[in-house]
């Protein structure tokens, strides 16, 4: 075990875990931030997507030792009141089905729109392709990303 | 067509009481058979969930809380079922708050999210409940005013009388709670529905988009340990011995022990438990035959060619029809095992102590599972409580309580609260799969008519059940026979979204296209002609309606621009009836870089009244895409009992860029609603295969399509 300092959602945390522990499990089991989900553990599904210095990353494949001194944002931290334009679009379009993948989808979408505020539909589909939704809410995800982008105009 | 029995004794399924803190609580049981031993409750915190399986709380500010009785797996019943109550209660949906109810053991009826039946079963009783509550509130207001209740009207939770006086529900709840439960209440005419038929968002959407803990995997308890379980790597193996020295030496590992043929690793975090499991050295031995996909293929083909069939339905004389036929068409269709791959892997919490057995997690069959656990642990069922959480997908997998039983067994040994979590690898390797199935279909053609139809099913472990052998084209062809045979494997199998019909529809609806080609007739006309033969049938086993199937077919032809699309678009058609719903689908395929790509699917359904069109469209879209995704890519093979796919890098699920647009149309009528979670799935794969045939000239008869022919997908 080793001691680490982490910056998550603008709060700083001291924790003691083994240095190979993926951030996903640090968030879930140690910091009780349960919005970030486990789906595959090997970087394939995107359920665990968080932002590392604003970049979308797969927290299941990111050991804690590699992220100290970086700032982490999780689904709990992208807005105070659940009113990020992406969240609002998700709600309006009623995207979720079972809902399990949606935190990861939203984290991928918010990071993508930061980079590309006015994407076309191919760009959206490209960006969201790496996130699995087992309930196949894909068409609504595409719509919601496009909708959220209109807030950028 | 059969009609459901309706005799609901409201006295036995509904009780009301004033709430200590103000307001009124109405406890109801979903179904009439509930035992009438219910005592009125006085305080919501003291309400005994053994007495009711649903509650409505009306606060003195008029706010309504509905405790939904059904578990949510993503089919939207947690939203749509309360809508039924709110409709008849005549309150504004904005004033309704929905909460997931707990398990009701005693008067349990159908607290199972499976089979697309929730709405169908709740339609009448839930509306009765709402209407009864409303009548009591109106009666209370009428008594206060000294007028006849018949002269009062209600809008959005406000009662008015002829003089124009008004009372909100909140103002009369205390009086209403003291009144007798009225016996005869009138349900609304569907024309007057205000909530039913409106787009209503998922009631949990705010929690989901903000990452609130809703799911089983999110459940935590002070002092809880995380359990990772090593199970036999191959179906047919048993545990001989294991060495846990290395695993136990890891910091954070609390305990390692054997239970049955499995080994549990208990640790202070999920990660430590998962990692330490990898340090176990176990020796396994062959207990029963280690089976491979090759063996299954041979076994199923032998079954199809053999004579060990059981006949499920037999009309006329198929032998005679085939002997006298001008020509015969025969085809075989094949499908593999499929894992469910719910995105939330199987998991469960258990805390077994001398006093009680506490279980929390995502399960579709809470009562059955609680009973099994009571038996396993030799405990009185009264000691067992089971709380359902939201589920990250179900698809049939969470009907089986294996993971909950594991959790209970482990906690029982450890005497600590624990959570079992399957890794994705565990989830895929320790599944209860859709069984591999093959169909052989032959048709006899004489004088340009289909005179005989013979369907043979060879399946692993179990065959089609219920009325499936009586679905279309049963009743449409004079000489008709359905035969089934199966092979008992040690690989565990079970329900997978739209069991049996998920592949049967592919086989039959592909076959009809081939049949039309052989007969040189129009593909859709062939189906419509056959349906004419079913009209007016007195056969009780036929539950599909030829008229309703005909209507969805015609509507799909129109909505999809069938036959009128540009020359680069190739269309495929399929129509099917299952889960009490009639569906027709058209897939549009174009060739991109020499490969067929599905661009759009038009789906027309007759599922009766659509309670929540927004949720319903989501369900249908998901079903269509699930059907296409699994038909295209889904494949679980076995070698010596070991599943060959382990995670999403070698098990392909449909993703965004492979997703066609899905256009959903509902037939408008005033018939009681039927299921929606499943019926859109079965015809989708056939519509796509038929479109691929149109685009490439190649007929796919085997799933997954991606492996069907190098000529198609390279
Ligand atoms: S859990 Fe990290 S990508 Fe799947
Ligand atoms: S909503 Fe169920 S996995 Fe995406």
pLDDT at B454 exceeding the cut of 50: yes
In sequence order, the β-bridge partners of residue B483 are: B311, B456
Residues B595 and B660 in one domain: yes
Residues B398 and B525 in one domain: no
Reading the block at residue B310, the tokens are 């059981």
Interstrand relation of A71-73 and A2-8 (parallel, antiparallel or unpaired): parallel
Q: How far is the CA of B260 from the centre of ligand 1 (A)?
A: 31
pLDDT at B13 exceeding the cut of 90: no
The CATH code of the domain that includes B226 is 3.30.365.10
Write down which residue in B167, B183, B209 finishes a domain: B209
Answer yes or no: do A98 and B393 touch at CB < 8 A.
yes
Mean pLDDT calculated for residue range B90-119: 58
Strand locations in chain A (E): 2-8, 11-17, 49-52, 55-58, 71-73
Residues B534 and B666 in one domain: yes
Residues B373 and B504 in one domain: no
pLDDT in tens, B162-214: 999 999 999 998 888 888 888 788 999 999 999 999 999 988 999 999 999 88
The region of weakest confidence among B16-30, B312-326, B405-419, B679-693 is: B16-30
Residues B480 and B389 in one domain: no
Write down which residue in B161, B185, B209 finishes a domain: B209
Q: Which residues of A touch B251 (CB under 8 A)?
A: 1, 18
With respect to residue B172, please indicate whether it lies within any of the assigned structural domains.
yes
Atom of ligand 2 nearest to the CA of B344: 3
* Nearest CA owner, ligand 2 atom 4: A133
Q: How far is the CA of A59 from the centre of ligand 1 (A)?
A: 7
With respect to residue B577, please indicate whether it lies within any of the assigned structural domains.
yes
pLDDT in tens, B557-605: 999 999 999 999 999 999 999 999 999 999 999 999 999 999 999 999 9
With respect to residue B294, please indicate whether it lies within any of the assigned structural domains.
no
Q: What is the pLDDT of residue B481?
A: 98
To the nearest whole angstrom, how far is the Cα of B344 from the nearest Cα of chain A? 6
CATH 1.10.150.120 in chain A, residue ranges: 85-150
Residues B64 and B200 in one domain: yes
Mean pLDDT calculated for residue range B681-700: 98
CB atoms within 10 A of CB B70: 26
Mean pLDDT calculated for residue range B524-528: 98
Q: How confident is the model at residue B552 (pLDDT cuts 50, 70, 90)?
A: very high
With respect to residue B585, please indicate whether it lies within any of the assigned structural domains.
yes
Mean pLDDT calculated for residue range B623-634: 98
The full DSSP string for B55-98 is EEEE-TTS-EEEEE-S--SSSSHHHHHHHHHHHHHT--GGGEEE
Q: What is the pLDDT of residue B56?
A: 84
Report the residue of chain A nearest B419, measured CA to CA. A29
- What is the rounded distance in angstroms from the CA atom of residue B66 to the CA atom of residue B130? 10
Q: Tokens 């209507």, residue?
A: B551
Q: Which residues of A touch B629 (CB under 8 A)?
A: 136
CA B298: distance to chain centroid? 31
Q: What is the pLDDT of residue B34?
A: 29
> b or e along B378-415 (b: 16 or more beta carbons within 10 Å of the residue's beta carbon)?
ebeeeebbbbbbbbbbbbbbbbbbbbbbbbbbbbbbbe
Q: How confident is the model at residue B80 (pLDDT cuts 50, 70, 90)?
A: confident
Give the residue from A101, A86, A100 showing the smallest Cα distance to A144: A86
C-beta separation of A65 from B358 below 8 A: no
**CB-based contact, B214 to chain A, within 8 Å:** yes
Answer yes or no: do A136 and B659 touch at CB < 8 A.
yes
Which member of A102, A125, A136 has the closest CB to residue B622?
A136
Residues B202 and B222 in one domain: no
Answer yes or no: do B657 and A101 touch at CB < 8 A.
no
Say how many domains are in chain B.
3
pLDDT in tens, B307-329: 999 999 999 999 999 999 999 99
Q: What is the pLDDT of residue B55?
A: 75
Looking at domain A85-150, does it have CATH number 1.10.150.120? Answer: yes
Residues B159 and B194 in one domain: yes
Residues B645 and B612 in one domain: yes
Mean pLDDT calculated for residue range B356-382: 92
Which ligand approaches the C-alpha of residue A135 most closely? 2
Counted across chains A and B, CB pairs separated by less than 8 A come out at 182
Residues B524 and B585 in one domain: yes
With respect to residue B618, please indicate whether it lies within any of the assigned structural domains.
yes
Q: How confident is the model at residue B40 (pLDDT cuts 50, 70, 90)?
A: very low
The helix (run of H) or strand (run of E) holding residue B535 is: none
Atom of ligand 1 nearest to the CA of A44: 3
Q: What is the pLDDT of residue B66?
A: 83
Task: Indicate the length of chain A as a whole number.
Answer: 153
Residues 6 or more apart whose Cβ sits within 8 Å of residue B627? B502, B680, B681, B682, B683, B684, B685
pLDDT in tens, A48-90: 999 999 999 999 999 999 998 899 999 999 999 999 999 999 9
Residues B163 and B225 in one domain: no
Write down which residue in B209, B232, B262 finishes a domain: B209
pLDDT in tens, B329-348: 999 999 999 999 999 999 99
Q: What is the pLDDT of residue B112?
A: 37
With respect to residue B334, please indicate whether it lies within any of the assigned structural domains.
no
Mean pLDDT calculated for residue range B611-630: 96
The region of weakest confidence among A123-132, B169-178, B514-523 is: B169-178
Q: How far is the CA of B391 from the centre of ligand 2 (A)?
A: 10
Atom of ligand 2 nearest to the CA of B74: 2
Q: Which CATH homologous superfamily contains domain A2-77?
A: Beta-grasp domain (3.10.20.30)
Answer yes or no: do A99 and B214 touch at CB < 8 A.
yes
Domain membership of residue B225 as a residue range? 216-287+346-421
Reading the block at residue A136, the tokens are 């196949």
pLDDT at B21 exceeding the cut of 80: no
| Highest mean pLDDT out of B458-462, B677-681, B709-713 | B458-462
Q: What is the pLDDT of residue B23?
A: 78
Residue from B80, B113, B343, B344 to probe the interface with A (highest A Cβ count within 10 Å) = B343
Q: Is the CB of B343 under 6 A from ligand 2?
A: yes
With respect to residue B340, please indicate whether it lies within any of the assigned structural domains.
no
CATH 3.10.20.30 in chain A, residue ranges: 2-77
**CB-based contact, B217 to chain A, within 8 Å:** yes
Residues B91 and B194 in one domain: yes
pLDDT at B470 exceeding the cut of 60: yes
């Amino acid at each position: 075990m080793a001691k680490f300092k982490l910056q998550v959602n603008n709060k700083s945390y001291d924790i003691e875990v083994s240095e190979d522990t993926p951030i996903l499990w640090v968030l879930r089991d140690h910091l009780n931030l349960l919005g970030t989900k486990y789906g595959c553990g090997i970087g394939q599904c995107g359920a665990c997507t968080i932002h590392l210095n604003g970049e979308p990353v797969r927290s299941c494949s990111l050991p804690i030792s590699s992220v100290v001194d970086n700032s982490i944002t999780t689904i709990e931290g992208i807005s105070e009141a659940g009113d990020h334009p992406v969240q609002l679009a998700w709600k309006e379009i009623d995207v979720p089905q079972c809902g399990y993948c949606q935190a990861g989808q939203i984290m991928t979408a918010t990071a993508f729109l930061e980079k590309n505020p006015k994407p076309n539909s191919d760009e959206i589909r490209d960006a969201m392709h790496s996130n699995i939704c087992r309930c196949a809410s894909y068409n609504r995800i595409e719509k919601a990303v496009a909708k959220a982008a209109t807030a950028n105009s | 067509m059969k009609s459901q029995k309706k005799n609901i004794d409201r006295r036995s399924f509904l009780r009301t009481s004033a709430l200590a803190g103000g307001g009124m609580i109405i406890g109801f049981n979903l179904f009439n058979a509930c035992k009438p031993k219910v005592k009125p409750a006085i305080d919501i915190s003291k309400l005994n969930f053994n007495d009711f399986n649903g509650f409505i709380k009306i606060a003195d500010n008029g706010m309504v809380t509905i405790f939904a009785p059904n578990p949510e797996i993503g089919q939207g019943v947690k939203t749509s079922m309360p809508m039924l109550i709110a409709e008849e209660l005549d309150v504004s949906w904005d004033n309704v708050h929905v909460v997931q109810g707990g398990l009701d053991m005693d008067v349990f009826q159908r607290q199972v999210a499976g089979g697309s039946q929730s709405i169908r079963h709740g339609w009448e009783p839930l509306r009765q409940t709402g209407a009864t509550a409303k009548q009591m509130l109106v009666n209370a207001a009428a008594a206060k005013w000294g007028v006849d209740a018949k002269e009062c009207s209600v809008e959005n939770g406000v009662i008015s009388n002829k003089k124009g006086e008004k009372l909100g529900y909140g103002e009369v709840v205390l009086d209403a709670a003291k009144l007798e439960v009225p016996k005869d209440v009138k349900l609304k005419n569907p024309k007057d529905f205000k909530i039913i038929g409106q787009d209503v968002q998922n009631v949990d959407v705010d929690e989901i988009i903000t990452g609130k803990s809703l799911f089983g995997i999110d459940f935590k308890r002070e002092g809880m340990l995380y359990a990772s379980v090593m199970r036999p790597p191959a179906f047919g193996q048993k545990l001989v011995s294991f060495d846990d020295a290395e695993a136990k030496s890891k910091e954070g590992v609390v305990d390692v022990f054997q239970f049955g043929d499995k080994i549990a690793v208990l640790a202070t975090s999920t990660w430590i438990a998962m990692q330490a499991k990898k340090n176990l050295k176990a020796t396994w031995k062959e207990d029963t035959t280690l089976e491979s996909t090759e063996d299954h293929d041979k076994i199923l083909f032998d079954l199809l060619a053999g004579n060990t069939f059981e006949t499920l339905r037999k009309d006329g004389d198929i032998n005679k029809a085939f002997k006298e036929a001008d020509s015969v068409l025969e085809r075989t269709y094949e499908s593999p095992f499929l894992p469910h791959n719910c995105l939330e892997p199987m998991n469960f919490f258990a805390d077994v102590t001398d006093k009680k057995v506490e279980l929390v997690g995502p399960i579709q069959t809470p009562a059955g599972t609680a009973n099994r656990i009571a038996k396993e642990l030799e405990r009185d069922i009264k000691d067992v409580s089971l709380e359902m959480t939201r589920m990250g997908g179900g698809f049939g997998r969470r009907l089986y309580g294996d993971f909950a039983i594991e959790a209970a067994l482990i906690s029982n040994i450890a005497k600590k609260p624990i959570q079992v979590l399957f890794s994705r690898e565990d989830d895929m390797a320790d599944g209860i799969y859709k069984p591999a199935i093959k169909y052989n279909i032959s048709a006899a053609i004489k004088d340009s008519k289909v005179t005989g139809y013979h369907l043979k099913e060879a399946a692993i472990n179990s065959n089609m059940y219920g009325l499936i052998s009586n679905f279309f084209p049963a009743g449409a062809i004079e000489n008709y026979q359905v035969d089934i045979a199966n092979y008992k494997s040690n690989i565990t199998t079970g329900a997978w979204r739209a069991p049996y019909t998920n592949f049967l529809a592919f086989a039959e609806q592909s076959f009809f296209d081939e049949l039309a080609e052989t007969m040189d007739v129009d593909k859709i006309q062939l189906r419509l002609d056959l349906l004419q033969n079913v009209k007016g049938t007195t056969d009780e086993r036929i539950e599909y309606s030829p008229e309703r199937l005909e209507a969805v077919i015609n509507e799909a032809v129109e909505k999809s621009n069938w036959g009128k699309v540009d020359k680069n678009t190739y269309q495929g058609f399929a129509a099917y009836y299952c889960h009490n719903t009639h569906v027709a689908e058209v897939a549009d395929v174009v060739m991109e870089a020499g490969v067929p790509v599905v661009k759009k699917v038009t789906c027309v359904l007759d599922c009766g009244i659509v309670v929540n069109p927004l949720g319903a469209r989501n369900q249908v879209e998901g079903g269509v895409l699930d059907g296409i995704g699994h038909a295209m890519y889904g494949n679980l093979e076995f070698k010596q009992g070991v599943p060959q796919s382990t995670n999403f890098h070698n098990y392909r699920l449909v993703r965004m860029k492979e997703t066609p647009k899905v256009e959903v149309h509902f037939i408008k009528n005033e018939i009681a609603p039927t299921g929606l979670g499943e019926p859109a799935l079965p015809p989708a794969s056939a519509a796509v295969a038929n479109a691929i045939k149109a685009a490439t000239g190649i007929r796919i008869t085997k799933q997954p399509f991606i492996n069907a022919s190098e000529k198609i997908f390279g």
